[in-house]
């Protein structure tokens, strides 16, 4: 069997040509392509503002910093460390809660139980491309006057009752090579709040309210005045050029992921020891990852079996946050039984738009063959 990687970025000649044009232009730092990318992205999300930057982690960090949140931020333990790192490095206090094992997303009831008079925000992680229970979470946030920051790194195009993930308050997205679109490395922050957007833009570029590109139109473009201390979290014009081309085909890329996921479910749906992610009525999954739960005792053996057959299965995420040394002392708003169950039994199977149906079938055959080797 040919090797099947976990993910292959969908980069074509359009992206390559766009990058070449930028390189030849001589304008490599933040520039015109950033503005194009941001405009396209804001239109897609339905937000008034989109700010491109170097990672989703930076977007999460700047969301907290711009909102001046230094109190408690509720987040799941079942996530990548970037979620909690952003909270800590922004000077806020993470409070971890458990998930629902069917959706892999935070349990809204446990969110509400974890709220104290020190709670200022909920950082929602949409796991693998499936939006969390946003209708319920929005109710909780409104009731307790909390801000919502959506870690939508894995959920570009996911929807709940027609509303797109990342459009509720502040949305943060990733363009890492495994994501639904990629710029290699990169992120985006979305919001309808003009003052917040202006503050984020300044914080992203050394605290200076104008960009180098925009200052070129002014009479004295060399004047650079910082309004606050900031970071260098900017995305280059080169990477933004890739993003522009990726946005032109985001719907097609997500459609391909939908078809691959449906094929997996069709081929593995009769196995009683395999649990799929449950998609609630009215929700649309963007399938950044395709994950299954298997019995704990089978998980590592099955991954080894797949890898021996040149299938790059992986795990997202084990161990969970609360079991890693830097975060063990963080306050937990609940027990972590479901998180620990899922972390120890989950497998990520390959999924990317250019996968052939035959690739999915081959993977499913190897999974089914595992029964005879266990």
- H helix runs in 92-145, sequence order: 108-114, 134-144
Q: Which two tokens stand for residue 324?
A: 């890693």
Paired tokens of 318: 């084990």
Is residue 36 within 8 Å of residue 22, measured between CB atoms?
A: no
Give me the catalytic one of 33, 48, 179, 301: 179
Q: How many CB atoms lie within 10 A of CB 372?
A: 6
Q: Is the Cβ–Cβ distance between 67 and 199 less than 8 Å?
A: no
Instruction: Quote the CA–CA distance of 327 and 249 in Å, as a whole number.
Output: 39
Check the CA dihedral 354-127-174-198 and report its sign: positive
Distance, in Å, from the CA atom of 287 to the CA atom of 180, rounded to the nearest integer, reads 8
**Distance of alpha carbon 301 from alpha carbon 320, whole angstroms:** 20
Residues ≥6 apart with Cβ < 8 Å to 185: 54, 55, 175, 176, 239
Give me the residue label for tokens 């499936």: 130
Residue 298 falls in the annotated catalytic set: no
**Structure tokens, 321:** 């946050």
Residue 234's contacts (CB-CB under 8 Å, 6 or more residues apart) are: 29, 30, 52, 53, 54, 204, 205
Number of CB atoms found within 10 A of residue 38's CB: 21
Q: Does residue 190 come out as left (phi exceeding 0), alpha (psi in the -120 to 50 range) or beta?
A: beta
Catalytic residues: 179
């Amino acid at each position: 069997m040919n090797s099947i990687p976990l993910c292959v970025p969908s980069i074509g000649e359009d992206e390559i040509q766009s990058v070449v044009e930028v390189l030849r232009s001589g304008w490599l730092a933040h520039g015109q392509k950033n503005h194009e990318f941001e405009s396209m992205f804001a239109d897609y999300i339905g937000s008034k503002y989109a700010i491109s930057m170097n990672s989703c982690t930076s977007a999460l960090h700047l969301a907290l910093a711009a909102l001046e949140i230094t109190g408690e931020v509720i987040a799941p333990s079942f996530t990548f460390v970037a979620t909690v790192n952003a909270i800590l490095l922004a000077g806020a206090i993470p409070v971890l809660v458990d998930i629902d094992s069917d959706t892999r997303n935070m349990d809204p009831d446990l969110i509400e139980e974890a709220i104290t008079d020190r709670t200022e925000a909920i950082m929602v992680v949409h796991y693998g491309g499936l939006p969390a229970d946003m209708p319920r979470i929005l109710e909780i946030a409104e009731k307790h006057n909390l801000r919502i920051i959506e870690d939508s790194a894995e959920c570009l195009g996911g929807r709940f009752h027609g509303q797109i993930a990342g459009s509720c308050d502040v949305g943060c997205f990733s363009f890492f090579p495994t994501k639904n679109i990629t710029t290699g490395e990169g992120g985006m922050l979305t919001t309808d709040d003009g003052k917040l957007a202006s503050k984020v833009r300044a914080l992203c570029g050394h605290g200076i309210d104008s960009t180098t590109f925009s200052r070129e139109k002014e009479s004295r473009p060399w004047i650079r005045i910082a309004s606050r201390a900031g970071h260098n979290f900017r995305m280059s014009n080169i990477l933004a050029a890739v993003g522009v081309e990726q946005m032109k085909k985001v719907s097609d890329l997500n459609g391909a992921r939908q078809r691959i996921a449906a094929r997996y479910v069709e081929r593995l749906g009769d196995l009683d020891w395999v649990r799929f992610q449950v998609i609630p009525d009215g929700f649309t999954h963007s399938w950044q990852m395709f994950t299954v739960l298997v019995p704990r005792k089978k998980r590592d053996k099955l991954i080894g079996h797949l890898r021996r057959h040149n299938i790059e299965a992986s795990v997202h995420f084990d161990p969970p946050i609360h079991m890693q040394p830097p975060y063990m002392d963080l306050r937990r708003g609940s027990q972590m039984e479901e998180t620990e169950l899922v972390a120890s039994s989950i497998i990520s199977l390959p999924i990317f738009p250019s996968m052939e149906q035959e690739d999915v079938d081959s993977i499913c055959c190897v999974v089914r063959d595992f029964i005879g080797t266990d």
